[in-house]
Chains A and B, each alone.
Chain A
Amino acid sequence: MPEIRVSTHSVPSEVPVGDSQPAQQGAAPADISAMRKFLLSRSDSALTDRLFHWLMVLCALSIFVIVALIAWRLVVSSELTWHKFGLGFFYKTFVDPVTGNPQYWDPVNEHFSALPFVFGTLVSSLLALIIAVPLGVGLAIFMTEMCPKALRGPIAFLTELLAAIPSIIYGLWAVFVLVPLLREHVNPILVTLLGWTGLASDDNPTGLGFFAAGVILSIMILPIISSLTREVMSAVPHSQREAVLALGATRWEMIRMGVLRNARIGIVGGIILGLGRALGETMAVTMVIGNTPEIHKSILSNGTSMAAVIANEFSEAVSDVHRSALIEIGLALFIVTIIVNAIAQLLVWAVTRGTPSQAH
């Protein structure tokens, strides 16, 4: 018997209304009231008021300046590599003259290609999403639709903590606990299950690699995915749930038709936000991915990622080209995360604040 909820407040439109801006609901209007405008116009401290106003504007402006400075410095410092390799930096491979094997990253002969790093970042982030999305959405469904009230607080607190644990502590735990666990118990199972496809081969005895990185990343992005999913799911008006239940739906049918269908855009936004975090994650990945600039089909083999190679090599890079190549990888990471985060923000806004055009 599904739990029946009676909505305590009526929601005026079909657009789900979020509670991210409580001031907009109730008595207080969003913009400055006529009363306040009048009172402000009578103020006799116009100069100090104006100074204060501009000081605040300046601080708000500084956020723009910081982002612009970051972008500008990254572009300028990576010019060298850009001129030398062009766009091929991200997809070309070099052939080793002695062995004839493909070579990607050779600081000694100044041959640089970011291909293995892009590959590693994509593979580990995708693995993380594959693991984290079902769990995160499952957790959100449990918490919004099924969880007894007494449990909701503690679980929310735990996931908040999970989000607040620093990357380095995840890394430490992964190196000493997760990797041995995967090596002894999980990887052999994967080899027997997926061995025939070549996606999991047992030629890496360390337990490090793409899969370990994907698992630790999935634990790290879970809180983001589940908390955003929870937010958009609670933004769906109760009338939607009640309507579906009134037609005789079971609880799952109510969740599927009444909640998930309405919240799907926001959920995708949350997943993309999680992806954005996974792409740029550095320390935990660096500690478990194995740090070898190679491309392998097997998810159990060693690899490296864009963030990891910067963390490992930047302070030891001696040549200008090497340093510039690493900064260009950083620039690519910067651009990709900006795009990914922007898309995610727009999708989440679309659900929690009405359509994006109404947000302005």
Chain B
Amino acid sequence: MSAEKFVFRSRMRTLTDHAVTALSIGATVVVVIPLVAIFIYLLIKGVSSLNLDFFTKLPAPVGESGGGMANSIVGSGVLLAIASAMGVPIGIAAGIYLAEFGRGTKFANAVRFTADVLNGVPSIVMGLAIYSLVVVPQGRFSALSGGIALGIMMIPTVCRTTEEMLLLVPHAVREAALGLGVPNWRSVLSITVKTASSGIITGCMLAFARVAGETAPLLFTAFGNPFMTTSLNQPIEALPLQIYVYANSPYDDWHRLAWAGALVLILLIVIAVSLVRYVTSRGVLKGAS
């Protein structure tokens, strides 16, 4: 190889290297832009339309200004309570099974795989399934069916985080408990699960935050309701459902409310995600291991 050719090639290689560096920095910037844009826009739009009425008043009829989303906030609360009551215990128990009892077995692998499948089921399909499983036999749209749909969506996240957190607990801790004559079930509940509890709680919060913003599974289960209700047998409003209806409406006043609702929803989620990050970065189990 002649000298010029060599110099040329090495220059080309350096150039490609710089080009790729620039490209990936560019990609990072392009990714960060929409996120920042969404947040800034949400803050500007949301803060200016957020007031006390938003939390205390019912939606105003078309044509009247003002009004709030009190019914959807209460409704979201009811739906999330049902969902957590169902999704959290089942998810944690399944996670305990995967980490403590079924480790390495074929059945556990199958459960893990099915949980991942369930996690990937589109939320709209979940809505359809719960519609024909709960709404049709019950004969009406109801808060209960919406809560069940959200609860099922919580299970995989809770289950997998619980498993991962329990796997972090050192074996010595379990053996120490068993060695003191503690029965296995107590050793699991008050030693292993307790050691991993902050991690498990953050997993639950993550699942909670995820389903709090779900709209599609509620479209034909909770359905929406312009009045305040806490009855499990009645259709009920939820924050994301209300945002959807208001965003598609032609009224500026409703658009304002939709932005305010979106801000409330995103604050809830940002708080949950930050907490998760704080707890996991602190190293939940450093003291234990």
Q: How far is the CA of A354 from the CA of B281 in the complex (A)?
A: 27
Contact A39 B215 (CB under 8 A): no
B240 close to A36 (CB less than 8 A): no
What residues of chain B lie closer than 8 Å to A31, measured between beta carbons? 103-104
Partner of A282, one of B25, B124, B209, B265: B124
Residues of A close to B127: CB separation below 8 A: 310
Q: Give chain B nearest CB distance to A265 CB in angstroms.
A: 18
- B interface, how many residues as a size bin? 35 or more
Report yes or no: B42 in contact with A169, Cβ–Cβ below 8 A. Answer: yes
> Cβ of B96: which chain A residues have Cβ within 8 Å of it?
56
Chain A residues with CB under 8 A of B20: 141, 251-252, 255
Partner of A43 from the list B121, B178, B220, B255 (CB cut-off 8 Å) is: B178
Within 8 A of A (CB), among B112-147: 113-129, 131-133
Residues of B near A120 (CB, < 8 A) are none
**Distance between Cα atoms of A213 and B127 in the complex (Å):** 22
| Contact present for A276 and B120 (CB under 8 Å) | yes
Whole-angstrom distance between the Cβ of A244 and the nearest chain B Cβ: 13
Shortest CB-to-CB span from B108 to chain A, Å, is: 8
A193 part of interface (Cβ distance < 8 Å): no
Per-residue 0/1 for B231-255: is the Cβ within 8 Å of any A Cβ (1 yes, 0 no)? 0000000001001100110000001
Which of B24, B115, B128, B164 contacts A74, CB < 8 Å?
B128
Interface residues of B (CB under 8 A from A): 13-14, 16-17, 20-21, 23-28, 30-32, 34-35, 37-38, 41-42, 89-90, 93-94, 96-98, 100-104, 106-111, 113-129, 131-133, 152, 155-156, 159, 164, 167-171, 174-175, 178-179, 183-185, 188, 206, 209-210, 212-216, 219-220, 223, 240, 243-244, 247-248, 255, 258-259, 262, 265-266, 269-270, 272-273, 277, 281
A–B Cβ pairs within 8 angstroms, 23 of them: A23-B169, A30-B103, A31-B103, A48-B185, A56-B94, A57-B102, A59-B89, A59-B90, A63-B90, A70-B133, A73-B133, A135-B27, A136-B31, A138-B24, A143-B28, A146-B25, A153-B281, A160-B277, A173-B41, A252-B21, A282-B124, A282-B216, A334-B121
